[in-house]
Amino acid sequence: MKEKTGWFCSARSRGSAMALLMCFVMTCSIIGSGITLAHADDAVAVKEWKIPMLTVLTGPVAFAGVQARWAAEYAVNEINAAGGIRGVPVKLTVYDTALDNAKAVQTMARVIPGSLVVLGPLDGRGSGAVAQQLLDNKILSLNSNTNATMLSSSKPYSVSYMQDPSKGNVVGAKKWFQLEPWIKSVAMFYDPTDPASKDSIDKFAANITGTGVKVVPIEIGAGQLDFGPPVLKAMGQKVDGYFSSYLTPNHVAIAKELFNRGITKGTELIGSMAGDGPELFTTGKGYLENSYMCENLSPVNTSPRYRKLVEAFKKDFKGQLPNNTMNFCDAVYSIKTAIETLKITGDPQKLVQERKAIDDFLYNSPELEGLQFKYKNVNGEKVAPFFLLQIKNNQFVQISMMNP
């Protein structure tokens, strides 16, 4: 047997070789970690983006809350199918506040720790109730504080998920007056006990003065079931037009009462986005022909993204058209844009600064891509076009898209 010779044979040379190797490895690691440290700041530190959503699944506005949840889930599914945000999937957890402010506060206390941003509460009152918590934790919520007054209670930690409906009413009404110039006075039905309804009428009266059209407010009680009396009262005021900012069944009831009393042209009536439900075409059939509607999202918009959503929605909701809560889809995408642009990591150590970054980004945002339009958030308010629709042949027709 030949004796093995060579440099490795002696123990001493093996030792030095080992030492050299170790030095080499250590140096490489130091250089390597130095390189990775430089990029580690940006790497996503979580396995999934946990986004909580507070909505209303129980009670009188459950139908809106259920659709809001659907819209958010649709956006999340679409995002995850395309690879998630920065390569990491999104996990949406939906909570029910049941229109109870105490539950909203309790649920918000539960979801805030560890969250970067919150979706909801869906309802205006709930959004107001959690204001203090948003301020205390400096966390952004995309909620129903849709105008400056409502936004002020949690400024700057609220961003509205949809455009201000009272602005929409004014913009829509002005277009209505242009299209139907014979309207010189309008009866506006409103519910004095509902803050949103009251806000609508105040804004409306204030902003319409420039057009020379007179506004006659007609109060309706909160539990009103029979709309004959208020309609009669309105007709008694000898107005040319009628504006109802109500939920669909009430809007239909008002239309029916008007129709049965001789107001049949249709163009005298206009509704707001709260009244765009499917009943317009079932029980309302025939009573709403030629009537108008102000909208935040046009149900008959032709943009491809929106059409795709409508097809999916119709499958889950038996052929119905979706309502304005589809704006939550835009809201989810705006969060995605924020995370991507700011290179948010989700690292718990950086929670405070990342919350602030997201809030600053979205409170006064750059131009964002929505389902039906491009929009911006200005001081928390979603600034986007409004739509005027008309019902012709028992279907919606988009008449006009108006910039705010």
Partner 1 sequence: MSPATLVYIEFVGVFVLLLWAVYLPFRGGQLYNGPFYCMAIGAYTAAYVTKMLGWPSGIGLLMAMVTGATAGFFPALAFSKTTGIVTATASLALIFIIQAVIRNLDFVGGAQGLWGIPKMAHLPIVLWVFVVITGLFVYRIDKSRIGRALEAMRTDPALASTLGMNLRWLSVFVMTFASLIGAVAGAFYAFTMGTIIAESFGFTLLLSTMTMLFIGGRYTMWGVLISAPILWGIPQWIPPEMASYTNIIYGALLVIVLVVRPEGLVSREMIDRLNVQFKRVYRQDR
Partner 2 sequence: MAGMENFVAQLISGLATGSTYALIVVGMALLLLVRGVVHFGFAYIVVMTAYLGWVVLGLTDNNLFISIPAFIVIGTVLTVATEPLFRPLAQKKAFLETMVLGQGIAIILTDVCSHFFNYGQAIAFPRVLTGGGARIRFGIVYFSLGDIYALAGSCVAVVVLLYVLYRSKQGKAIRAMAQDLDVARTLGIPFKRTGIIGFGIAGILAGIVAILIAVTLESASPGMGDSLAIKAMTLMLFAGMGNLTGGMICALILGVVEAMAQAFMPGRWTEAIVFGVVMVVILVRPNGVFGTRT
Which spans of this chain sit near partner 2 (rule: CB under 8 A)? 57-63, 65-67, 191-193, 219-226, 228-230, 232-233, 247-249, 252-253, 256-257, 260, 277-279, 282-283, 317
Kindly report the number of other CB atoms within 10 A of residue 371's CB atom: 22
Instruction: Say how many residues touch partner 1, by CB under 8 A.
Output: 32
Residue of 44, 49, 51, 57 interacting with partner 1 (CB under 8 A): 57
Residue 104 CB, shortest distance to partner 2, in Å, is 18
Residue 99 CB, shortest distance to partner 1, in Å, is 8
243 strand-pairing partners: 188, 270
Q: Which is nearer to partner 1, 132 or 209 (CB)?
A: 132
> Quick one: which H or E segment has residue 202?
helix 195-208
Q: Give the x-and-dash track for 127-166 against partner 1 (CB under 8 A).
A: -xx-xxx---------------x---x-------------
Q: Which is nearer to partner 2, 181 or 223 (CB)?
A: 223
Q: What is the DSSP letter of 227?
A: -
Q: Any contact of residue 233 with partner 1 (CB under 8 A)?
A: no
- Of 76-84, 110-118, 155-163, 264-272, the segment contacting partner 1 by CB under 8 A is 110-118
Selection from partner 1, partner 2, none that 219 binds (CB < 5 to 8 A by kind) is partner 2
Q: Any contact of residue 109 with partner 1 (CB under 8 A)?
A: yes
Scan for tokens 């009272």, then name that residue.
166
Residue 113 buriedness (CB in 10 A; 0-12 / 13-18 / 19+) = exposed
Q: Give the x-and-dash track for 322-361 against partner 1 (CB under 8 A).
A: ----------------------------------------
Q: Which is nearer to partner 2, 277 or 380 (CB)?
A: 277
Strands 386-392 and 292-295 turn out to be antiparallel
Q: H helices within 219-291, ranges in order?
A: 228-236, 248-260
Q: Which is nearer to partner 1, 10 or 132 (CB)?
A: 132
| Phi/psi of residue 174, nearest 5 degrees | -60, -40
Q: Which is nearer to partner 1, 104 or 388 (CB)?
A: 104
Q: Tell me how far apart the alpha carbons of residues 88 and 124 are, in angstroms, rounded to a whole number.
A: 32
Tokens of residue 86, six digits: 């920065």
Strands 374-378 and 381-383 turn out to be antiparallel
H helix and E strand count, the chain? 13, 15
Tokens of residue 266, six digits: 């249709």
Residue of 19, 28, 102, 342 interacting with partner 1 (CB under 8 A): 102
Residue of 76, 112, 173, 331 interacting with partner 1 (CB under 8 A): 112
398 strand-pairing partners: 389
Q: Are 186 and 215 in contact (CB under 8 A)?
A: yes
Residue of 194, 219, 240, 360 interacting with partner 1 (CB under 8 A): 194
Residue of 15, 32, 83, 113 interacting with partner 1 (CB under 8 A): 113
Residue 223 CB, shortest distance to partner 2, in Å, is 5
Amino acid identity at 120: G
Residue 150 CB, shortest distance to partner 2, in Å, is 21
Q: Tell me how far apart the alpha carbons of residues 147 and 381 are, in angstroms, rounded to a whole number.
A: 6
Scan for tokens 């009831």, then name that residue.
253
Selection from partner 2, partner 1, none that 110 binds (CB < 5 to 8 A by kind) is partner 1
Residue 209 CB, shortest distance to partner 2, in Å, is 24
| Cα Rg, the chain, nearest whole Å | 28
Residue 71 CB, shortest distance to partner 1, in Å, is 17
Residue 65 CB, shortest distance to partner 2, in Å, is 8
Residue 93: name the closest of 135, 126, 49, 133 by CA. Answer: 49
Q: Which is nearer to partner 1, 194 or 240 (CB)?
A: 194
Q: Tell me how far apart the alpha carbons of residues 200 and 164 are, in angstroms, rounded to a whole number.
A: 10
Which residues does 387 contact at the CB level (< 8 Å), separation at least 6? 172, 294, 295, 296, 297, 298, 301, 398, 400, 401, 402
Please report, as ranges, the residues that interact with partner 1 according to CB under 8 A.
57-58, 93-96, 98, 100-103, 105-107, 109-110, 112-113, 125, 128-129, 131-133, 149, 153, 192-195, 198-199
